[in-house]
Structure 1
């Protein structure tokens, strides 16, 4: 990032990011093409970039120089997405892989909708797998969201939330002998989001067993 030792400057949103063309050509076929032959960029010392941010471009250049992805504790999904778009644009496959893994490590109940939209929009199988694991491990917290928010998350995640909810209900069913009866002989299946209630055999009339969702084995344990 030393202007005095660089032979090109990228102008992004009024800020400059200096770099060395030879290093960029070495790591990226796109830069190799741009800085060779008849491309205008091959002669220019200043190249304007329109579709990113200076911060994201610096992360990419830093990776090209060091082979290390450094976000400096920035967990903003928009920023991470900007870096992924650059990795895709400049055909930096390893950077894209590392960004996807980083994204999988910063999923939260608050940003799952945004990350889900990216995972399914870019068809990122590894990130989709991370979303499934997150939903499994944080099911109770997700169910505390409002119906409107749950619907938005489910849409962003391509119905993954409904799929996992259905699986979770099936797992609850399988923990008990079926069918279950009260003394009047009627079959009863009672479920509540948050804590589940389920009747159990040989109980007195109206007796129920309350199951805390956190005590139910996770899918990977069954």
Structure 2
């Protein structure tokens, strides 16, 4: 079998090694969007370009589409990074981009973070994302970009009620994993979960009342039984309460989990998690899902998510198709008041 060593002549093989080091250039560009509401007057498909900027020896621009890049993204804003140079034939300009909207304090908003795959900008000179608008309140924008190993783009918009992940959340996550000092157990779906009363009480007003308020059930050491939440959902709920983050999920898993977590977040008074679930569900609004999502939004007072669903049904084609589906019949039984609003909007549209 061949090897990478060779005999030096005295029976002892010599070994050599080498390294490949790839240079990566990182940086950022800030783009402020002043008077955001006025930019919404720009028609769908039309853009506003940033000034050109230099990164990694290349010239770049950020492209901002206030009402989406095409008709499929009319309910979105779109952010694209574009290579503004002429590239020699067979030359590659590989880069990765990250887009995130910032809150009014300049901090990233976790639900509004998108990262692209590595793209060869010599072939595809523009690459980006459409970001659905949920709970936005105008404001000033900033976009950052860098070239090389990754391109880092960040935009600022106000997102009500969402704050970035705190540094101490990482340490709380370690505490949950280690189970050091746990003092409460939950029995959920046949599985047992251990936790810390003070952590849960600090995060949830419901747990606080249950453990230390008028709802407390004494100092029993028996496991608390929860029958209306599935075990994997409760596990994700605990993870979020400790670490301020959710586990990575595939697209369909994310849709299913977001529905269950939204209900749990509303039950335990976790407003930030509730807003994150609203955002995730807003990216899954289709003709086949809008009835279920709209029902959730109505039952759990998710005004931004409800608005996103109604905007989707504002299209005559979507509304007509929806009214002929089983989802419409389901909504008629579960939320008759919503159906009345939809029918009124259809009459007005006609």
TM-score under structure 1 length normalisation:
0.61
- Which of the two has greater strand per residue? 2
| Aligned counterpart, 1:183 | none
| Aligned counterpart, 1:35 | 211
1:49 to 208, 211, 226: 226
Aligned to 2:242, the other structure's residue is in SS state: helix
Alignment partners' CA distance in 1, 2:271 and 2:341: 27
Aligned to 2:314, the other structure's residue is in SS state: helix
Q: Which has the higher contact order (CA 8 A, sep 6+)?
A: 2
Q: Report the RMSD for the aligned CA atoms in angstroms.
A: 3.0
Alignment partners' CA distance in 2, 1:153 and 1:56: 25
Aligned to 1:2, the other structure's residue is in SS state: helix
- Which of the two has greater helix per residue? 1
> Is residue 238 of structure 2 the alignment partner of residue 61 of structure 1?
yes
2:198 to 22, 25, 28: 22
| Aligned counterpart, 1:200 | none
Is the 1:69–1:98 Cα contact (8 Å) retained in structure 2?
no
4+ residue stretches of structure 1 with deviation over 4 A?
none
2:347 to 142, 156, 166: 166
Is the 2:291–2:327 Cα contact (8 Å) retained in structure 1?
no
State the number of aligned residues: 167
Alignment partners' CA distance in 1, 2:331 and 2:189: 35
Q: Could you list the per-position Cα deviations for residues 111-159 of structure 1 after superposition, in whole angstroms to 9, with x for gaps in the alignment?
A: 111112222233332111111222235x435534673537426635433
In structure 2, list runs of 5 or more residues that go unmatched.
1-175
2:262 to 66, 84, 87: 84
TM-score under structure 2 length normalisation:
0.41
Q: CA deviation at 1:52?
A: 1.1
Alignment partners' CA distance in 1, 2:323 and 2:206: 45
| Aligned counterpart, 1:152 | 329
| Aligned counterpart, 1:94 | 272
> Is residue 199 of structure 2 the alignment partner of residue 9 of structure 1?
no
